[in-house]
Amino acid sequence: MMARATAVVLLLAALCTTTASAAVVEHTFNVGGMGISQLCMNSVIYTVNQQMPGPTIEVTEGDTLVVHVINRTPYPLSMHWHGIFQLHSGWADGANMITQCPIPPSDKFTYVFTITGQEGTLWWHAHASMLRATIHGALIIRPRPRTGYPFPTPHGEIPILLGEWWNRNVDDVETDGLLTGLGPAISDAFTINGSPGDLAPCGGTFEAEVEPGKTYLLRIVNAAVNAELFFKIAGHSFTVVAADASYTNPYGTDVIVIAPGQTVDALMTASAAPGRYYMAARAFESKTVANPPPFDAAMATAVLRYRGVPENGAPAAMPALPPNTDVITAGKFYWSMTGLVRPGDPVVPKTVDHSMVVGFGLEQAACAPEQSKCQQFSVVASMNRRSFLFPDEVSLLEALFRGVPDVYSEDFPGSPPQAPAARKATSVRKVNFGDVVEVVLQNEAYSAALGAENHPIHLHGFNFFVLAQGLGRFDPKVKSTYNLVNPQVRNTVAVAAGGWTVIRFTANNPGMWFMHCHLDAHLPLGLAMVFEVLNGPAPNLLPPPPRGYPKCH
């Protein structure tokens, strides 16, 4: 595929008129079944181009990416380009029933969008059911040659995609979770680049070879479905230089903490004695209840091997990972990073046009008639007591563009209402083009039995500045402590269990933009909302849908 992509770049580069260095990069994604042996079991999973993880897409800032997605699975699906702004290309965002109807089985759709003002590590994944467990891959955006990295060019790169594995069809896992009303069963293993490691039964192992004394850029993606993760390499430390494809001031650490949807770029120097060293990942569990439900306590491993050391040599050294419930280590990592501000980078807007407080969490509810396996209660999730209900006949973006009535309401509240329980609604928040939006994300414990837990909140279509984070209830008095100079810039932020986070962004892209929890267990329960950003002055207008735009069936 890379050979074809290169040929297309060379063929079509002359057609690009933006800059001499911009190119058109083309890929074809055949999404279909693949046989695999994992954890001593033979399974059929769904992947892109018979790969897990899927193909790595590499582009340069300013390139146009063209991806032909052919759906050979029995499931309707869409493909989301996680963290891409989609400036004037909202139809290509791939959010199922938000920006498009899914691609039906035996059908296809071509995503076309330009990478504008972004560089670093992002990723792509299916945005339907829990299919992204095996349908995902890295999306690497390189700086233009004359720009370069704001750190010494590394000797090499090592993509690290952290994943989650079930011994069952993941669509069945989600369906059973919805029928019980309690969410999906816990996974059977975590993976590093598709393999659980040699400590797991019949476990395959990813191995990376490094040269002594050389520095490598680790491009780390948490593609796990429902778990924040600790990641560590025995005998080595990291310098974090980017998060969510936004550069950070160098941050030294010996452990990475990463939530589903997030990416971290970290430099690692092979400075230990030549040998074999385990990379390891395991869950960070943050629930605040006294007796939390079971979670996947397994550890995924891979091997870092120095050149010249035999593959079957001495046993690898094992890193000392933090305990699963180490909230102090997690909080220190999440809250200590700051953004690197370079000339020309966006700065924090000082004036806010649109302020919101969004309380979110889980609560107990009565079993619904369709929940045939539900026993005592079911779980409902909400933002500002609205449990998001996906439309089923037309996507929200098409409804906005064509003026289709009765698909959604523009009444998402700007603060948590006094309501005894969540109610289901397809509710959006209308925002004028160019407004500076500030959102206080308040992590609630609506039910004593369920408590609170860390929630990774992902916003489509925008990066946001993370101005402040804390535990307990947000107090407006902390506004004087906001970091308005060099805050982290993210597209996904982990909001602490029972805590809060303040984000700020400029709504400079017309369309319908999803904000939701990136724990897939919580999305079908309703932990989501949508920003409707109105058209601005030309050319800041929502364009018509592209050719071949999928229709709902």
Q: For residue 449, give the 3-state DSSP assignment.
A: coil
* Strand residue runs (E) in 444-491: 455-459, 464-471, 488-490
Highest mean pLDDT of the ranges 13-27, 182-196, 438-452: 182-196
What's the mean pLDDT in 201-220?
Answer: 97
What's the mean pLDDT in 259-281?
Answer: 98
Q: For residue 212, give the 3-state DSSP assignment.
A: coil
- For 3-17, 133-147, 276-290, 351-365, which range has the lowest pLDDT when averaged over its residues? 3-17
Distance, CA of 504 to CA of 352 (rounded, Å)? 8
- For 144-153, 187-196, 388-397, 533-542, which range has the lowest pLDDT when averaged over its residues? 144-153
Alpha helices, DSSP H only, in 286-437? 327-336, 396-402
pLDDT, tens digit (0-9, with 9 covering 90-100), for 54-85: 999 999 999 999 999 999 999 999 999 999 99
**What letter represents residue 498's amino acid?**
G
- Specify the pLDDT at position 239: 99
Confidence of residue 289 (pLDDT cuts 50, 70, 90): confident
Using the structure block, give the residue that is written with the tokens 């690497």: 140
Confidence of residue 448 (pLDDT cuts 50, 70, 90): confident
Q: Is the pLDDT of residue 428 over 60?
A: yes
Burial of 333 (C-beta count, 10 Å sphere; 0-12/13-18/19+): buried
Q: Provide, rounded to the nearest whole percent, the portion of the chain with pLDDT above 70.
A: 96
Confidence of residue 18 (pLDDT cuts 50, 70, 90): very low
Neighbours of 420 (CB within 10 A): 6
* Residue 317 or residue 141, greater confidence: 141
Q: Is the pLDDT of residue 15 over 70?
A: no
Q: Is the pLDDT of residue 154 over 90?
A: yes
Distance, CA of 197 to CA of 205 (rounded, Å)? 4
- Specify the pLDDT at position 4: 31
- Specify the pLDDT at position 11: 29
- Specify the pLDDT at position 27: 99
pLDDT, tens digit (0-9, with 9 covering 90-100), for 226-255: 999 999 999 999 999 999 999 999 999 999
Q: Is the pLDDT of residue 288 over 80?
A: no
pLDDT, tens digit (0-9, with 9 covering 90-100), for 325-373: 999 999 999 999 999 999 999 999 999 999 999 999 999 999 999 999 9
Structural domains in the chain, CATH included, are: 2-142 (2.60.40.420), 156-336 (2.60.40.420), 354-533 (2.60.40.420)
Summary mean pLDDT of the chain: 94
Residue 503, CA distances (Å) to 146, 289, 363, 484 in order: 32, 27, 25, 11
Q: Is the pLDDT of residue 389 over 70?
A: yes
- Specify the pLDDT at position 290: 65
Q: Please, what sign has the CA dihedral across residues 178, 183, 186, 187? A: positive
Distance, CA of 436 to CA of 484 (rounded, Å)? 14
Nearest Cα residue to 390 out of 369, 370, 372, 408: 408
What's the mean pLDDT in 122-144?
Answer: 97
- Specify the pLDDT at position 221: 99
The answer to whether residues 473 and 245 touch, using CB atoms and an 8 Å cutoff, is: no
